[in-house]
Copies of this chain bind each other. A is one copy, B any other.
């Protein structure tokens, strides 16, 4: 429990209106988008207005040894924003200004509470866009997505959030305010702390301003759909596209379980007997897009697609993406609880991974639909279950652990884009060994020795 003196100091810094203590207010901060996590009420929810207030709060938290849980929109899928014990939830939603769009240097400075889509709208006025595109682009904040280094559909060609963060202002665990990075493409001054704090899940510092890179909006786009009766052929088509030097903006896959569920849900005219669908989008200059689309069409046919469809116009393009957009909603309506994983493998291992997931589903008698970002090896095995069914949840846990095992053994990673948070912290030794986890912990201890900043996430105290 927070001491009354601590509360008084918080109110003094932030004003009464920015310090919430009513139980009904606190309840909405006891969970986030992650399924089946324990809910813990914070003592207090605060909404700072600027960097100075954040720094003052960090000093108060240190003085009273109480944790701070920074939070954007809470859309993360790894329990990154849930309190693990009572403490202060710091909502960044009031710090939501786009401070600058600099079209000459292709950059923007934003506060952490800015919604990603709002940045895109501001960039669009200059013919620019912000390439990282997590599924929650219309609700997630920049602070949250930078702290999780979130991915999305365009990773293959454009990379993910960490490739777009150029600098930041942040508050360290001791309350120091530090500015890092800048508008220059080249910057090798000091260790790359911009990269270290990106994806650190709020455990090393609290971001109060973020500098990101923008890109020119591509002139043209074309989408192609390929239907396969064999998962290996689909995998081989993915490799063939890359081998032919086409780097699509997006290259997605849906397995049979997902196809059937989407079709049942959305009646999109999908081939329910197909073992896999590949959805591909190429973008860039008109002429380049023409060439790449034609080439992809040819490759899909050569690799044994039973049907290939090149969208002739925007309407056909929307039809192709309608199915993909409905994958998660369709799966999610089958059962009360959706456990969405993001184990990721080298793209050449996609068929192996999909087959392994199918075997795991059979072994544990679970319903698992798999779809995801085939081009960058980032699959979303989606386990449909019911958190109230303790026996089934035990099987789910075993299945998840086995999915991680397979991903690591194929040269992959525990998390492609959802982060470690609370949900996967215990699996880290699988990927890095105890020596690797010790290294992570040494960094955490060096930067936040009192474990004030989002404790219990990423790396534990011991």
Q: Which of B106, B411, B445 contacts A182 (CB 8 A)?
A: B411
Across-interface contacts of A148 in B (CB, < 8 A): 188
Cross-chain contact of A105 among B177, B347, B424, B432 (Cβ < 8 A): B347
A432–B190 CB distance below 8 A: yes
A285 at the interface (CB under 8 A from B): yes
For the complex, give the distance between the alpha carbons of A433 and B285 in Å. Answer: 44
Complex Cα distance, B186 from A412, in Å, reads 10
User: A187, B416: Cβ atoms under 8 Å?
Assistant: yes
Chain B nearest CB: distance from A159 CB in Å?
7
Query: Which residues of B lie under 8 Å from residue A159 when comparing CB positions?
Result: 185
* Complex contact B447–A442 (CB within 8 A): yes
Kindly supply a per-residue 1/0 record for chain A positions 133-168, scoring 1 wherever the CB is within 8 Å of any chain B CB and 0 otherwise: 000000000000000111100011001101100000
> CB-CB < 8 A to A443: which residues of B?
191, 193, 196, 443, 446-447
B184 and A245: CB pair below 8 A? no
| Residue A260, interface by CB 8 Å | no
Q: Which residues of B contact A149 (CB under 8 A)?
A: 188, 192
The 11 listed contacts between A and B (C-beta, < 8 Å) are A102-B348, A104-B242, A105-B347, A160-B188, A162-B192, A163-B163, A178-B436, A182-B346, A188-B415, A285-B288, A446-B446
Having A105-B347, A191-B440, A285-B287, one finds 14 other A-B pairs with CB under 8 Å, namely: A102-B346, A104-B346, A160-B188, A176-B439, A178-B436, A184-B347, A186-B373, A187-B344, A188-B416, A189-B420, A189-B431, A190-B440, A191-B443, A195-B196
